[in-house]
């Protein structure tokens, strides 16, 4: 029996509809993939390539009315190898919180050195 070849997005769609079977072969293309889709694939035992084009969905602007300031959230794309991705998932690391903290700390340190 010849395996049916599907890309990562088709695989996620089939899994979500309950139609994905083990004889399917998932071939990853260069299209961005969301963290949610990666989670679905990993949960169903699909091997991920060493580098993925991860696309974090478009984030919106959140307004903090009590302070009357707006905080902009950025759309970022991370290319991670599977070892790092596995580590993030196993340790349940909140990438958004980590990225925000790292960038804020970098900004503070950069400005303190610059003075």
Question: Which pLDDT does position 42 carry in this prediction?
Answer: 82
Q: Which residues fall within 8 angstroms of residue 64, CB to CB, at 6 or more apart?
A: 70, 71
Distance CA 89, CA 83 (A): 10
How far is CA 109 from each of CA 71, 95, 103, 104, rounded to the nearest angstrom?
20, 21, 10, 9
Distance CA 13, CA 17 (A): 6
CA 10-40-84 angle, 5° bins: 115
Compute CA 84 distance to the chain's CA centroid, rounded to the nearest angstrom: 12
Question: Which pLDDT does position 72 carry in this prediction?
Answer: 55
- What is the tally of structural domains in the chain? 1
Question: Which pLDDT does position 30 carry in this prediction?
Answer: 82
Question: Which pLDDT does position 53 carry in this prediction?
Answer: 64
Q: Which pTM value belongs to this model?
A: 0.46
Question: Which pLDDT does position 75 carry in this prediction?
Answer: 66
Question: Which pLDDT does position 74 carry in this prediction?
Answer: 62
Are 75 and 56 spatial neighbours (Cβ–Cβ below 8 Å)? yes
Mean pLDDT, 10 residues at a time, the chain of 115 residues: 83 87 83 82 81 53 41 66 84 83 87 82
Domain residues for the domain of 66 are 5-114
| 43 torsion bin: left (phi>0), alpha (psi -120 to 50), beta (else) | alpha
């Amino acid at each position: 029996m010849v395996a049916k070849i599907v890309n990562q997005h088709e695989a996620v769609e089939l899994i979500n509809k309950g139609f994905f079977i083990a004889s399917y072969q998932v071939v990853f293309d260069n299209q961005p993939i969301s963290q949610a889709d990666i989670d679905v694939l990993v949960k169903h035992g699909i091997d991920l390539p060493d580098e993925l084009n991860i696309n974090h969905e478009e984030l919106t602007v959140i307004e903090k009315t009590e302070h009357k300031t707006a905080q902009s959230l950025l759309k970022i794309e991370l290319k991670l190898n599977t070892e790092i991705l596995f580590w993030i998932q196993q340790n349940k690391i909140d990438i958004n919180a980590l990225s925000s903290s790292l960038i804020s700390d970098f900004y503070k340190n950069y400005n303190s050195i610059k003075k």
